[in-house]
Amino acid sequence: MSTYYLRALTWLALLCAVCSLTGCKPKKTTTPDVKKPGPAPVKVEPDTVKPDVSTVAPAPVTATSGSDVLVTVNGVDITQKQLDELLKPHLDRLAKQAANLPPAFLEQQMKLLKDQALQEMIKMQLLDEQVKKANIKVTDDEVTGEITRMASLQKPPATLEEFKAKMEAYGYNYEQLKNQMQAMLGQQKLVAQKYPDEAKVTEDDAKAYYEQNKARYDVPEQVRASHILIKPDLSDPNSDPNQAKAAAKAKAEDLLKKVKEGGDFAALAKENSACPSAARGGDLDFFRRGQMVPAFDKAAFELEVGKISDVVETQFGFHIIKVTDRKAASTTSFDQIKGTLMAELVQRKLQELAMKYVEQLKLEAKIVYPPGKEPKPAAPPAIPGGAIPQ
């Protein structure tokens, strides 16, 4: 997990899910995806331009009382319960991702995350106070519109319902997301009002950025493929894994024979595939080299459009692959990306301005920690090889 300016924590899941809003994601093989939420060749989102929503905020904290107060900001308590609720999905994922790391290192990483989260909650509380003082309003239509826009930036674009499902897979319900988005939009409006001239981005600004980062908009060769996945049945712990594997391979070969004899590939995928893409006739949409597991990737890119592979074995099971389309390498033009790029640059400026504004607010704020809970600087311990969990 990144250690810079947490992007308001609850939105880490959103940023990952919505189309890599902060950049490329590492190659994975098991991360849920709204289109492919289970064992299947997993795609890594392309490095396309997306808005940087660093001014996204946790839902505003509310005044509470009790012995679990971590800090009081201008008379408003931030409690351990609020922090725990905010961080639970992130800590759960961190624990799973770092299962093989030394316990002491994992504990230190979690402490760092909690410390950063608390500081972020302080910043967001300060901004929320100013949003209320400025009487800034955000309508339901604005919230829904922004969430829909973010969903549309996925590759392939997602509907609002698919977006909701994706967020639920990350541990958030839709009402939480709406609250987060409402806070984000309010704070963006606040910063834009506070710094109207500095928050502007012109087409010339965007064009200059595009020319300086042209390689970012190179689109590599892509293929579109459908597949049928047959997984060995290992539900019985007493069964022989080798026999289960052999049975799965035999079933895949039988299906391949049916396909080659003229069987409807999409229908057979819907009836037999163990991948969630079965609902779409096995369609995995477009992907570039390196986004699928190696054996699948190699087979798909060697096929001509309309051709069917032999049975391909991967760690997920046995696949029958059909390539349905292909795109040559290309470069996204400035005109194609202009609107999205300008939105991204605006978001970056808003992030910088929000950080500047928060530092000013902190100088004027009354921030009180209970005895013994004052923040202490800490650095992550070194681990063999210098690996840092992402």
- CATH code assigned at 264: 3.10.50.40
Q: What is the pLDDT of residue 10?
A: 39
How many C-beta atoms lie closer than 10 Å to residue 252's C-beta? 23
Q: Are residues 33 and 49 in the same domain?
A: yes
- Which residues 6+ apart lie within 8 Å of 321 measured at CB? 225, 226, 227, 296, 299, 300, 303, 308, 309, 312
Q: What is the pLDDT of residue 85?
A: 82
The whole model's pTM is what? Answer: 0.59
Per-residue pLDDT of the chain (390 residues; tens, 9 = 90+): 222 223 333 343 333 333 322 222 323 333 333 233 333 333 433 333 333 333 334 444 444 444 589 999 999 999 999 888 888 777 777 776 666 667 787 788 888 888 888 998 999 999 999 999 999 999 999 999 988 888 887 766 778 888 888 777 777 778 878 888 899 899 999 999 999 999 999 999 999 999 999 999 998 999 999 999 999 998 888 889 999 999 999 999 999 999 999 999 999 999 999 998 999 999 999 999 999 999 999 999 999 999 999 999 999 999 999 999 999 999 999 999 999 899 889 989 998 999 999 999 999 999 999 988 887 765 544 443 433 333
Q: Are residues 238 and 322 in the same domain?
A: yes
Q: What is the pLDDT of residue 167?
A: 78
Report CA torsion sign: 60, 66, 68, 74: positive
Task: Specify if 3 maps to a domain.
Answer: no
Q: Are residues 119 and 207 in the same domain?
A: yes
Three-class secondary structure of residue 379 per DSSP: coil
Whether residue 156 has a cis bond before it, omega within 30° of 0: yes
Q: Are residues 151 and 237 in the same domain?
A: no
Q: Are residues 45 and 194 in the same domain?
A: yes
Task: Specify if 118 maps to a domain.
Answer: yes
- The whole domain housing 233 covers 221-328
Q: Are residues 109 and 191 in the same domain?
A: yes
As beta bridge partners, residue 77 has 72
Q: Are residues 117 and 231 in the same domain?
A: no
Q: What is the pLDDT of residue 100?
A: 66
Q: Are residues 21 and 152 in the same domain?
A: yes
Q: Are residues 132 and 280 in the same domain?
A: no
Three-class secondary structure of residue 99 per DSSP: coil
Task: Specify if 284 maps to a domain.
Answer: yes
Domains contained in the chain, number: 2
Q: Are residues 155 and 250 in the same domain?
A: no
Structure tokens at 301: 């890119």
C-alpha dist (Å) from residue 251 to 86, 221, 229 = 46, 32, 10
- b/e for 175-201, b at 16 or more Cβ within 10 A? ebbbbbbbbbbbbbbbbbebbeeebeb
Give residue for tokens 């609850």: 10
Under a CB-based contact definition with an 8 Å cutoff, are residues 168 and 319 in contact?
Answer: no
Distance of CA 124 to the CA centre of its chain: 21
Task: Specify if 390 maps to a domain.
Answer: no
- Using DSSP bridges, classify how beta strands 222-230 and 317-327 pair: parallel, antiparallel or unpaired: antiparallel
Q: What is the pLDDT of residue 237?
A: 86
Q: Are residues 151 and 285 in the same domain?
A: no
Structure tokens at 237: 């712990």
Task: Specify if 4 maps to a domain.
Answer: no
Distance of CA 211 to the CA centre of its chain: 27
Q: What is the pLDDT of residue 6?
A: 32
Indicate the DSSP class of residue 77: E
Q: Are residues 247 and 134 in the same domain?
A: no
